[in-house]
Amino acid sequence: MGQTLTGLLTSVRAIAGRPGTPPRARPGGGPDPELLAALRHCGDHLAALAASGPLTDARRTRLIASIGALTTACSTPGADAFDALLRTGQQALDSGGDAGARLALALADEATVLRARSKGAWRLRGNALDALGRSEEAITAYERHLALQQNAAASRDVERRIATLRAAGDRIDEALALVGGGEGATGAGVDAGAVRLSRHLPAADALAAFTELVRLRTAERGAADPAVRRLAALYAEHRRLADRDPMADPLLGGAEPIGVPGLRRFLAGRTVCLVADTPHTAEQEQRPGSSLAALIGGYDLVVRCDAVRHAAPTARTDLHAVTLRGDSQWKGARWDRRATARLVFGDPLPHWRLALRSRLVPGAQDRIGDATLRRPLHDPALLAEAAADADQPASTAFTVLRLLDFLGTPARVDLIGFEGPAALPPREREWIGARTGRTDDTAVRITLR
């Protein structure tokens, strides 16, 4: 691949010129200047890839092959290289990362100059801007695509994406109005210059500014303040909208995504038990007529956590919660235990998304927690706690308990079997002990509410 990449880079430079030299059309009906400019952008990207070391990513390999096809089209007299240009732009976008999105945008810019009425070129430009977090510019490009698109049914996903981007911007506008600031202003009482929030900021910058605004406002007025509660709700809605994929994605694993409101409804008025996965509990649960089996069977919702190794595959699981750990969170056993709902806790967002796509089993769950529920302990819209010590991360059971306690809608929450090897860490037991209503030694049960 190194020689192929080097040879392709040499061919691209021979046609389009080297960096710092303006591309020019070759005599005798050579490529258009825009195509030469596009090739030069590709050459710059190839040079960066060559300097990054061996290529093992299949997406980048496909991009290199696409650049090769574009180079061939540009060097073939009479060939129409426009379609090859759009394909290369899409492959650049599919390769992932800001560098790929920037290359896609550069190619889309040349494509819209070549053919200003190409709906494909404008959609590529919108997708690239969207991937770079430049939402307002993306909306403009998407709208240009829609104006050129004759088949409305073919662009339903673009219409949905425009609506999502606008809704996210509207949440920012309402937040600014709530704190008494204008476009790009700070809220009254918030340190001037500490927060610069605007719907025109890149998505990552807007999210960081929104997070800081919620933090400062909460520290200033307290979480019980009605305006702060509304601000936190707007932030949660903005996060939900911002965490969606750039274009509509099929429901993961055939399940219905649920956020905080949906989980509240799922839990409302129900009795809940968290069952520890221990050999003793599993044996008692499977024994016909055992008191523990009858006890667990009497709850409305049974919660199990992480890899369930001891309970029978057919053991009832209404809610399964799992925490992603390690550097390759998307690798590991697939979640094939049947559950009515599944919550997956993890960070960062791209790894969380990839884990869902890699490890969910179609049909194994009816509902799946969305991105607003992936980090409940530290999300400013939920518990808003400082990040825990990396050496002592919260257990999944404790994260579930804290989330259920925060939501406040279950009628009762019990822990069953969390003793001996299954005992939670001291700081988690301390939190539970301060909220324990009663204990039942015969059933090894701890009642929180």
Which pLDDT belongs to residue 21?
56
Measured distance CA(412)–CA(301) in Å, rounded? 10
- Model's pTM, two decimal places? 0.55
**pLDDT at res. 49:** 84
For helices 97-114 and 82-94, the axis angle rounded to 10 degrees is: 160
Instruction: Encode the chain (449 residues) as per-residue pLDDT tens digits.
Output: 444 777 787 888 888 766 555 545 445 556 788 888 999 998 898 888 888 777 667 778 888 889 989 988 888 887 788 999 999 999 998 888 889 999 999 999 999 999 999 999 999 999 999 989 999 999 999 999 999 987 766 677 788 889 889 989 999 999 999 888 555 444 433 443 446 899 999 888 898 899 999 999 999 998 888 899 999 989 988 887 776 544 334 445 568 888 898 899 999 999 999 999 999 888 888 888 888 888 999 999 999 999 998 888 878 999 999 999 887 777 788 898 899 999 999 988 888 888 888 888 888 899 999 988 999 998 887 887 766 555 678 999 999 999 998 898 898 899 998 877 678 888 888 888 887 766 665 444 566 65
Q: Return the structure tokens found at 175.
A: 């937040």
> d(Cα 63, Cα 100) in Å, to the nearest integer?
9
- Say if residues 109 and 40 touch (Cβ distance below 8 Å): no
For position 323, what pLDDT does the model report? 95
Return the pLDDT at 306.
93
